Each structure stands twice: as C-alpha cells, then as structure tokens.
Amino acid sequence: MTGLYVVVAAAVLAIAFGVCRHVTDGRVRGAGSRSPRLEAADLGTGLGTDATFVQFSSAVCAPCRATHRVLSKISAEDEGVVHVDVDAEARLDLVERYGITRTPTVLLLDGTGVVRHRIVGAARAPEVLEALEEVAARRAA
C-alpha cells in the first residue's frame, strides 16, 4: 500500500506545483526601491537609452529560447531598447549579485541602469510591453 500512497502524493505534488508555476511564470514583478544598478561595464556592452533587458540563460533551458525571441523582437522594434542575453554559467558573479535562482530570468533596467522589473520564467510579450511603457513613462516624468 505504501507505494500507492507515494504515487498519489507525487501526483498531488506535481499538479499543485505545476499549476502554481503556470500561473506565476513569466509575470513581471517590480524590483523594489533599493535595487542595485547595473553598469555597461558589467555587461561589456552599452545600455539602451530608454531601457535594457538583461536576460540570464543557460544551455539546458528550453524556455530561454522562447524568451530570447520575444525580447529580440521587442528590442528590434525600438532603437532605445537593448537586449543582452547573458550565459548565466559564465557570469556567476552577476548571478550571485542579483540573486538569480533559475533561467530564464530577465532584469528590466531603465535608461540609467537601475533594475526596475524582474521576470522569472518564460516572458510574456504583452506584459513585457506594459512594463517597458512603465519604465519609459517614469523616465518622461
């Protein structure tokens, strides 16, 4: 009987975790007021004048590629927006500094390099655009 209980427990755990992740994955979250800045020197490339997406990816991550497509498309359509895809494994220093726990994680920086938003899990285009607008509006204000 023990085995049957373990199977039922595993199924309940998998469904609860899966549904929870399905709801929360890719949501844009505010980064809080004391979020650290990211400098162009950290990335080895220039920041966007309006905003920069810093995407942390790894080779063993399939949703990273979907996220890459979403963010490349958005940054290609707006010349003030830059998309940087960082190999998390090669930049464990940044991973530690920004508390990245899984890939893909995207930091959305404003024009001065301050982290304004964080997206964990596969990014959703409409929410990313909304966050981008918010960052631009804050800059204009």
Partner 1 sequence: MPPVQPTPIDPRGPRFGAAVTSVVLALVLILGPGVPALVLLVIQTVAFALGSLIGIGAQPYGIVFRRLVRPRLGAPRDLEDPRPPRFAQTVGLVFALAGLVGLIWAPVLFYVAVGFALVAALLNAMFDFCLGCEVYLLSRRVAGHPLGSSGSGADA
The residue among 91 and 135 lying less far from partner 1, judged by its C-beta, is 91
Judged by DSSP in three states, 13 sits in helix
123 binds partner 1 (CB under 8 A): no
Q: Binding residue for partner 1 (CB under 8 A) from 31, 35, 61, 78? A: 61
Taking the CA atoms of 102, 106, 110 and 116 in sequence, report the sign of the dihedral they define: negative
Buried b (16+ CB within 10 A) or exposed e, 67-93: bbebbeebbeeeeebbbbbbebeebee
126 binds partner 1 (CB under 8 A): no
CB of 24 to partner 1, least distance (A): 13
Chain length of the chain? 141
Q: Binding residue for partner 1 (CB under 8 A) from 40, 73, 87, 133? A: 87
76 binds partner 1 (CB under 8 A): no
125 binds partner 1 (CB under 8 A): no
